[in-house]
Copies of this chain bind each other. A is one copy, B any other.
Amino acid sequence: MKLNNTSQYAIRILAYIADHKEKSLLSAVELSTALVIPYKFLTKIMTELVKADFIESIRGREGGFKLQKKASEIKVDDILNIFNDSIKEEECILGIGFCNGMCKCALHDQWMEPKLLMQKMFRESSLEDIAGRGCKI
């Protein structure tokens, strides 16, 4: 029961950028070094974040990345959705395809409360809320 690696990296990257708004641009090398994420893998993730319109990229020398939206407008859940790692409304914790009121899995009722709390947490936490907390990594 955990987030996948790519989601974890993406959240850390975006939180880091949000936490460094004094710099107008951050390069892939800087991010890779600061966050200890393999450079090539980071650039791959960056490309997806750009395509998802969360960050803007400036190409060429002196280029880099910056947020394309206000930090308060990017929720953790939006990031998870890019990598298909969010908690889907109707997805069953035991993986059965038709878990609902009519026919529910053994854990359906017990799962409801933790699920709703997690969804709420992911949906309500923005980059602004989480950036700058703790060790900035």
Does B134 contact A11, Cβ atoms closer than 8 Å?
A: no
Does A95 contact B134, Cβ atoms closer than 8 Å?
A: no
Does A12 contact B106, Cβ atoms closer than 8 Å?
A: yes
Residues on B with C-beta less than 8 A from A96 are 12, 137
Given A106-B131, A108-B133, 16 new contacts (CB under 8 A): A1-B3, A1-B86, A1-B118, A8-B93, A11-B106, A12-B94, A96-B137, A103-B135, A104-B134, A104-B135, A105-B135, A107-B130, A108-B134, A113-B117, A114-B118, A118-B118
Interface size of A as a range: 35 or more
- Cα A8 to Cα B91 in complex, Å, equals 13
Q: Is A87 an interface residue (CB 8 A)?
A: yes
Does A87 contact B1, Cβ atoms closer than 8 Å?
A: yes
| A interface, over-half SS | loop
- Copies of this chain present in the complex amount to 2
10 closest A-B pairs by beta carbon, nearest first, are A104-B134, A103-B135, A106-B130, A8-B95, A15-B106, A114-B118, A114-B117, A8-B94, A106-B133, A110-B125
- Cα A2 to Cα B93 in complex, Å, equals 7
Q: Is A80 an interface residue (CB 8 A)?
A: yes
CB-defined A-B contacts under 8 Å, sample of 25: A1-B2, A2-B87, A2-B93, A3-B93, A3-B95, A5-B95, A8-B95, A11-B106, A11-B107, A12-B105, A76-B107, A103-B135, A103-B137, A104-B133, A104-B135, A105-B134, A106-B130, A106-B134, A107-B133, A108-B134, A109-B133, A110-B130, A111-B121, A113-B121, A118-B118
